[in-house]
Structure 1
C-alpha cells in the first residue's frame, strides 16, 4: 500500500513540474508578444517589435525553464 502512495506522490510531483514548465514558457512568450504588439501600435513599427518581443519571450521562457530544472536537480543532489 505504501508503494502506491509513493508512486502517486512521484506522479503528482512530475505533473506539477511539467505544469510549471509549460506555464512559465507560455507566459513568457505571451508577455513578449503582447509587449511587442503594444509597442508596435504606439510606435507604428508593425510587425517588427512584435517579432522582437516574440523572440525575447522565447528566450526568457527557455531561461526560466533552465533555471527551474537546474534548481530541481540541485535540490535532489543535496543530502
Structure 2
C-alpha cells in the first residue's frame, strides 16, 4: 500500500534504501568473489560471477522495495 503522506523525509529514506541495496549487493559480491578467487586460484572468473550476482540481487531488492509505490493513482 503506498503511503498517504508525501514527506520529503520518506523520499530521502527511500533513496538511501535503494542506494544501500545496490552498493551492498555489489560490494558483498565483490568480496565473496575475490575471497573465493584467492582460495581456488581462479583469478577473475568468480569475482565477475559474484559481482554480477550481487548486482542482480541488489536490483531485485530495489524492485521489491519500490513495488508498493508502483501502480494506479486512482485511489
TM range (shorter): 0.7 to 0.9
Question: More helix by proportion, 1 or 2?
Answer: 1
Q: Which runs of 5+ in 2 are unaligned?
A: none
Q: CA RMSD in A?
A: 1.8
Q: Which runs of 5+ in 1 are unaligned?
A: 1-5
Give the length in aligned residue pairs: 68
TM-score, scaled to structure 1: 0.78
Rg larger for:
1
Larger RCO, structures 1/2 (Cα 8 Å, 6+ apart) = 2
TM-score, scaled to structure 2: 0.82
Runs of 4 or more, structure 1, over 3 Å off, are: none
